[in-house]
Structure 1
């Protein structure tokens, strides 16, 4: 059991953050060890052929992901509540070289001849994997993570730290000034006024990941509430009011984008011509309602957060 001891300052500095970089790294773990992640099977079965079509090679990243350990240098703690991936990748590239070297040694990997080149290659791999496998789904994932943070903020406001941590993850408990966290390597870690960073995650499930090593911001990455519903099929009819504004075809296409899809597939499902579907998708993209993501020979379209809100 890991015991995190809090002072009054630590409670004051306990905060939440979302990390697209962490989700990307944890998603690679789902692909590498599929038997441990049945909850994400639908996502994995969808993205594997897309990664193959795009020729994406994951070795610079996947080698840093082990069954019980993910190299901290592959996903530094976020420095703001909701950074975008570009900001986190810049931080990844600027890490001290000794951290990267130490992580490789802990995982039994050969030394990197040029640590900076290794970090740059790692960042490039993350960006490529993100574009194909995570970016089309990010609005849905982000909504799940935002919902978890809102829920826990209400718990903190109504019942303090005891209520906040009560259902964070199985085995986590708050006693006095101490948070008890299940971990294979037990120990007591004073937070020393740094506070605790809480990072809800879709792809951490079913595990809880902690980082308490010297030189890092202490953090807990935990499964977000409601993650079991993330990949449920939620295709819906377009609201009549939305169809009056956008037109029936465009509203229907938005409703069909429950999962990212290519133009041809959408045209078939919507009963439209490929050319007409392409024109509608271009208009929706120009309006900020869909985003386009290349996966090999195909371009996948996905709803944006604005579109998700409109359909809700």
Structure 2
């Protein structure tokens, strides 16, 4: 059983991550690579293995598979909080992990399974092994995550938008009720089925709830409860199908909107549909802040977006004209 205990302060600090976490997606995708689960992952698995069919790709994959077993614990240092700022920020955080943490995490992994000889070098933070790890992460990301980046982001965005609406209309009680049976709210605590008993007292730190494309079956949390608390949970199945399904990928109305506005600008417009900041556009679409701002500005000048200052951020929302444009595109009608 997993139990995450809240105080009233924790509820005030709890939030939904604004985009998929690249390091959680990477590590959890290694589970799907060996145990794909539903049909929706089959095409991803086939194309990923095909891209890795070269010596360096297979070496990178083997290194990561040793660190992330098919079940059970994998090192907390592989999913640093800094990855919320992007994949490369996550890689740099992993490679900068203090030696004490590397050793502690690798010791836990060694208690679970027999490790190769190089694991001791990694536990000691030897530069050669850290360099190999960085290369393996980048190789695997290029093969398994980057080609599906748009679909992964879209799936998570669909699920996150649903959760956010539930939170707005009914608070955390309604949002968590929609996550049953994976998550349950009981006596000021989130509970979930788990392979072992794991208790995390938030103690005023709040919680980041991360919807994940590759998470499957049950949620997952960091073993080290002293780290910033995170709860990664699986998105609803239909969100994956909506984003990855062949009918959606080949939908003519989506191509029509892209033809009208350009692929990136159409994606920006769809991203703004639920209201978001310039930074959230950049993270969700994996573009620079300057690029996100430029596209939002063009859409605003065209009368499709309104923008207001919200503290240090610029918050964007659709105008009625843009909403009608998206609705007509979704229905397969000629674009306005």
Q: With structure 1 as the length reference, what TM-score do the two structures score?
A: 0.71
Say which structure is richer in helix: 2
1:128 match: 139
TM-superposed deviation, 1:132: 2.0
1:3 match: 3
- d(CA) in 1 for partners of 2:211 and 2:42? 20
What does 1:1-312 correspond to in 2, within 5 Å?
1-17=1-17, 18-34=20-36, 36=37, 38-53=39-54, 55-56=56-57, 57=59, 58-66=61-69, 67-78=71-82, 80=84, 83-108=85-110, 109=115, 110=117, 111-113=119-121, 114-117=124-127, 118-168=129-179, 170-225=181-236, 226-233=239-246, 234-237=249-252, 239=255, 243=259
RMSD over equivalenced CA pairs, Å: 2.8
- d(CA) in 1 for partners of 2:126 and 2:197? 33
**Contact 2:177/2:185 (CA < 8 Å) preserved in 1?**
yes
Offset from partner CA, 1:1-53 (integer Å, 9 cap, x none)? 2221111111111112231121112112211334x454411210122112104
State the aligned residue count. 249
1:222 aligned counterpart, secondary structure: strand
- d(CA) in 2 for partners of 1:245 and 1:15? 32
- d(CA) in 2 for partners of 1:174 and 1:241? 41
Gaps of 5+ in 1: 255-287, 289-308
- d(CA) in 2 for partners of 1:192 and 1:115? 31
- d(CA) in 2 for partners of 1:136 and 1:191? 36
1:52 aligned counterpart, secondary structure: coil
- Note closer, same or farther for the CA distance 1:168–1:244 as it changes in structure 2 (3 Å cut): closer
- Tell me which moved more, 59-68 or 103-112: 103-112
Gaps of 5+ in 2: 267-290, 292-325, 331-336
Offset from partner CA, 1:182-220 (integer Å, 9 cap, x none)? 212224432111111111111112332112523311111
Offset from partner CA, 1:153-203 (integer Å, 9 cap, x none)? 111111112112123352421123111122122244321111111111111
- d(CA) in 2 for partners of 1:241 and 1:188? 48
TM-superposed deviation, 1:135: 0.7
- d(CA) in 1 for partners of 2:240 and 2:261? 33
- d(CA) in 1 for partners of 2:188 and 2:72? 28
**Contact 1:42/1:231 (CA < 8 Å) preserved in 2?**
no
